[in-house]
Amino acid sequence: MWLRRDGSAVVVLTPAKVNLFLEVLRRRPDGYHELASLMVAVGLFDSLELRETASGEVRLGCDAPGLSTGPDNLVVRAAELIRSRFGVSSGLDVRLRKRIPMQAGLAGGSSDAAATLLGLNALWRLGQSSRQLGDLGAELGSDVTFFFHGPAAWCTGRGEIVEPLKVGRPLDLVLVCPRVGLSTAGVFGALTLEGDVVDGGGARRAFEAGDVEELGRRLHNRLQAPAERLCPEVGHWLARLKELAPLGALMSGSGSTAFALARDASDARRMARALRDGREAGSQARVLVVRARCCD
């Protein structure tokens, strides 16, 4: 995340994430699932502008039609958590410029929540460290903590236990974001835990060593099969990506975004051009070329 002051406001740029590995180990007594995941932040950003007001209320405006701006939104929940925890009575006006697709497996909502915590820590001079803000974030959602410890990390627990990783080399990715999204709860609800657990150690070692060919062979997402059953468009785009001979192709998170791991930036542009040129009439899927933020 990047933060700057703009007069009386604080502006935060906050990235999307991609899961290069995601295994579901078991269902926990608290209803969540125990996970093991390799996550990286990528160069696709939302922007939040936060400004203190005298209204005593949190108000959120957003340029994305269809996104709730009420108390269920993670930005509003993050702001209310900060106000309650630190006894802040001031109101807040938030303007969210949404570029990360919703219900896409890219953690846009979690990233926005993290940006809100970071921005308010600066706006109200709360003096909280990244670790303390990450702990607050864990109260809001499983992926929020990652954004305080990225840009690359091995995440366990329900996703909130974050171990930062060193980065071996730049990663160039092609994202395909279908017009339809997927509910995280719906995908987990359709998951059947069967078969052997896949060990993520190989993916982690390849990532840290910068061995992109081996990493491509180690890509894994336990949620991909149930997501494809719920949304066949995910499988369609994964098949299209594989036709272009990437190092590997996978779905991110709980979907619906599919991505290809490219050999380098030129290879990523090649695949993106082929997808755009061959895109079916009427398809509203977004094709994006991104680089892991840790390597920018």
**For residue 63, which phi and psi values (nearest 5 degrees)?**
-90, 0
Q: What is the CATH number of the domain that holds 232?
A: 3.30.70.890
Catalytic residue, candidates 17, 112, 172, 267: 17
pLDDT of residue 31: 87
Kindly report the pTM of this predicted structure.
0.95
Examine the domain organization and report whether 57 and 22 are in the same domain.
Answer: yes
Examine the domain organization and report whether 222 and 261 are in the same domain.
Answer: yes
pLDDT of residue 280: 58
Length of the chain: 296
pLDDT of residue 77: 98
Residues of the chain with pLDDT under 50: 281, 295-296
Decide which of 108, 129, 164 is a domain's last residue: 164
pLDDT of residue 296: 41
Decide which of 164, 183, 206 is a domain's last residue: 164
Q: Which two tokens stand for residue 206?
A: 């390849």
Q: What is the 3-state secondary structure (H, E, C) of the chain?
A: CEEEEECCEEEEEEEEEEEEEEEEEEECCCCCEEEEEEEEEEEEEEEEEEEEECCCCEEEEECCCCCCCCCCCHHHHHHHHHHHHHCCCCEEEEEEECCCCCCCCCCHHHHHHHHHHHHHHHHCCCCCCHHHHHHHHHCCCCCHHHHHCCCEEEEEECCCEEEECCCCCCCEEEEEECCCCCCHHHHHHCCCCCCCCCCCHHHHHHHHHCCHHHHHHHCEECCHHHHHHHCHHHHHHHHHHHHCCCCEEEECCCCCCEEEECCCHHHHHHHHHHHHHCCCCCCCCEEEEEEEHHHC
Q: Which two tokens stand for residue 277?
A: 């040129």
CA 272 vs CA 37, 43, 169, 280: distances in Å: 26, 16, 21, 14
Domain count, the chain: 2
pLDDT of residue 150: 84
17 included as an active-site residue: yes
pLDDT of residue 260: 98
Examine the domain organization and report whether 134 and 49 are in the same domain.
Answer: yes
Catalytic residue, candidates 46, 143, 172, 267: 143
Domain that holds residue 279: 172-295
Decide which of 164, 183, 200 is a domain's last residue: 164
